[in-house]
Amino acid sequence: MERHYMDSKIKGVSTGTTILAVTFNGGVIIGSDSRASMGGNYVCSKTINKLIQVHDRIFCCIAGSLADAQAVTKTAKFQISLHSIQMESPPLVKAAASVMKELCYNNKEELQAGFITAGWDKKKGPQVYTVALGGMLLSLPFTIGGSGSTYIYGYTDAKYKPDMSREECLQFATNALALAMGRDNVSGGVAHLVVITEGGVEHVVIPGDKLPKFHDE
């Protein structure tokens, strides 16, 4: 609710958006729509990338002011990269999420962007963290964000199961995105999904006409 209200106050390009991240047995799936809007009336871009890779197995989904989100993720990517080289090992997802949180919290007056950090690391496996507007960091089995998320809280709360298989999780994420994009005017375009596992990272793109259709479509 809060984010929906805030988005309409964002000057310039915003990602009125739907983003989500869901853990499954062996990995995590993150997804987003691809619409960037200005003022709630004009679509700036139909094909924007909201899934930013900050390290080999760690991605960030962005919501809110696009400029702020890009600035934060660029900085975070640099810091996480340096940290990983100094540690001589891939970074923990928690560490990446903490870096995002520090940036959001310390600059909370100027920034208007929220993130979902998700990925896989050797210590704790697949994880999802949400970094809210003011810099709150929370670890969850799955999370949704952006203006479109308000329309799918019911669906995700009802349909999420822990320890899903990759296919079940992919279907869950696709359905959730389709439902949100169907009702939120500032979410739309194509559905971007990324599957992160120990073995690697796989992108899935579902164009608008191939998204699952529901009863009234």
Partner 1 sequence: MSSIGTGYDLSASTFSPDGRVFQVEYAMKAVENSSTAIGIRCKDGVVFGVEKLVLSKLYEQGSNKRIFNVDRHVGMAVAGLLADARSLSEVAREEASNFRSNYGHNIPLKHLSERVAMYVHAYTLYSAVRPFGCSFILGSYDQDDGPQLYMVDPSGISYGYWGCAIGKAKQAAKTEIEKLQMKDMTCRELVKEVAKIIYIVHDEVKDKAFELELSWVGEVTNGKHELVPKDVREEAEKYAKDSLEEEDDSDEENM
Q: How far is the CB of 95 from partner 1 (least distance, A)?
A: 4
Residues ≥6 apart with Cβ < 8 Å to 48? 15, 34, 35, 36, 66, 189
* Cα gap 125→203, rounded to integer Å: 19
Taking alpha carbons only, the member of 88, 58, 63 closest to residue 13 is 63
Burial group, residue 87, by CB count within 10 angstroms (0-12, 13-18, 19+): exposed
Check 15, 17, 23, 73 and give the catalytic one. Answer: 17
Report 45-104 residues binding partner 1 (CB under 8 A). Answer: 83, 86-87, 92, 94-95, 97-99, 101-102
With respect to partner 1, which residue has the nearer C-beta, 4 or 94? 94
Q: Minimum distance between the CB of residue 116 and partner 1, rounded to whole angstroms?
A: 16
Residues 24-43 binding partner 1 (CB under 8 A) are none
* Residues 147 and 5: beta-carbon distance below 8 Å: no
Residues 189, 37 contacting (CB under 8 angstroms): no
* Cβ count near 77 (within 10 Å): 18
Query: Least distance (Å) from partner 1 to the CB of residue 105?
Result: 10
Member of 137, 152, 164, 193 binding partner 1 (CB under 8 A): 137
> Which of residues 74, 108, 123, 210 is near partner 1 by CB under 8 A?
123
Supply the minimum distance, in Å, between the C-beta of residue 76 and partner 1.
11
Is 183 within 8 Å of 38 (Cβ atoms)? no
How many residues touch partner 1 under the rule CB under 8 A: the total is: 13
47: annotated active-site residue: no
The catalytic site residues sit at 17
Contacts to partner 1 by CB under 8 A? 83, 86-87, 92, 94-95, 97-99, 101-102, 123, 137
